[in-house]
Amino acid sequence: MTNKSNVLIIDGMALLFRGFFATAFTGNFMVNSKGIPRNGLFGFLNYFCNAIETFQPTHVICCWDMGSQTFRNDLYKGYKSNRDAPPEELVPQFDLAKDIVSAFQVPNVGIVGYEADDCIGTLAKQLQADHQVTVVTGDQDLLQLVDQQINIAIMKKGQGNYDVFNIDNFYEKRGLTPAQIIELKGLMGDSSDNYPGIKGVGEKTALKLLQQYETIDNMLADKDNLTKGMQNKLDQYAEDLEISRKLAEIYTEVPLTFSIEDALWNKDHSSIHTFLLEDLEFKNPERWLGKLQMAK
C-alpha cells in the first residue's frame, strides 16, 4: 500500500475537441440565451468528471495549447499546416473551458510557444519521483512519456473507457518501448501533424526495423546491410528523417513555474455550481457534480 499522491494531468485540448465533435455533426451546438455554443463544454465536463471519478486523484492539473505557433513551426515550416481553423462555434468555448477548470480550483497550464503535450511531459517528469502520475488524453504521441510512476490513459470510444499504458504492460501492447515511439514516428512521419518521415515507410516496416535495431542510429550505423531499396530511401530522405524525429519528441523542459500544492483536488464545488448554473446556463449541474462526491 502506498501513500503517494495520485496526480491526474488532463489534456484539455483532447477533451474539448472530442466533446465538441461528438455532438457537432448533429448541428446541436447547445446555444444558451447569450448566444454562446456549449456543446463542447458539455462534452468536456462529461470527460473531465469521468476521469476524476475513474482515477480518484489527490491532485488535478489541466494543460492547454496556447495558440497554433510553437517552436516546432520554426523547425519545420509545414508543421500542422494541413489543419483547418477550428469551427467558429468552438472558438468561444476554449476560454470558457478554462474558466470551468478554474472554477473547479484546478490549475490551467499552458505556455506560448509550446504545445500542451510539452507541458504535460514537463510536469509528468517533474512530478514522477514523488507522485503517481496519470495522463488522460486521446493523443497516442504521449505514449512516449510512459515510465516508472507515469501512466498514460488513452480515451477510447464511449465515455469512461480508457486504454491505460504503464511501464509493465507497454511492450506487450505496442511491441516497442516508450522511447521507441519517437523513433517510430521519425521513420513513419505523421500525416495529422504534417511531417514526412521516410516516404514509403509505414508502421509495419518501421516496427520491424526498430525491433531489429532498437534505434534509428543503430540502423544507420548498419545501413550497408539493409536492402538497396532501404539504403536509397535513407539517403534520399535523410533530412526528413532527422527533422521528423525532432518533431516527434515531446519537449520535457518547458519553463513552467508550478506548485503541486495549487493542484490539490478540492471537493468544495460551490463556485463551479454557480458558474455552470448562472453563467453557462446548464440546468442540472448535479449531473456532473454528483459524481464527484466520491472522488477523494
Count of CB atoms situated within 10 Å of the CB of 204: 9
Instruction: State the pTM of this model.
Output: 0.94
Nearest-angstrom CA–CA distance, 205 and 197:
12
- Sequence spans of domains, the chain: 5-172+257-287, 180-248
Closest C-alpha among 139, 123, 191 to residue 15: 139
Residue 184, helix vs strand vs coil: helix
Average pLDDT of the residues of the chain: 94
Report pLDDT for 49: 95
Q: What angle do CA 146, 176, 48 make, to 5 degrees?
A: 35
Nearest-angstrom CA–CA distance, 296 and 288:
15
User: pLDDT per residue over 182-214, tens digit each?
Assistant: 999 999 999 999 999 999 999 999 999 999 999
What's the average model confidence in pLDDT over 161-174? 97
Alpha-carbon distance values, 23 to 50, 148, 283 (Å): 18, 37, 18
Nearest-angstrom CA–CA distance, 72 and 76:
6
User: pLDDT per residue over 56-99, tens digit each?
Assistant: 999 999 999 998 899 999 999 999 999 888 999 999 999 999 99
DSSP E strands in 101-181: the ranges are: 108-109, 131-137, 150-155, 162-165
Distance of CA 267 to the CA centre of its chain: 25
Closest C-alpha among 45, 37, 121, 1 to residue 276: 45
Report pLDDT for 202: 94
Report pLDDT for 294: 57
Please state which CATH number belongs to domain 5-172+257-287: 3.40.50.1010
The enclosing H or E element of 123 equals helix 116-127
Nearest-angstrom CA–CA distance, 17 and 107:
19
Nearest-angstrom CA–CA distance, 167 and 111:
28
Q: Which of 120-129, 155-164, 171-180, 217-226 has the lowest mean pLDDT?
A: 155-164
Nearest-angstrom CA–CA distance, 231 and 217:
14
CATH number for 180-248: choose from 1.10.150.20, 1.10.390.10, 3.40.50.11890, 3.40.50.300: 1.10.150.20
Residue 165 and residue 143 in contact, taking contact as beta carbons nearer than 8 Å: yes
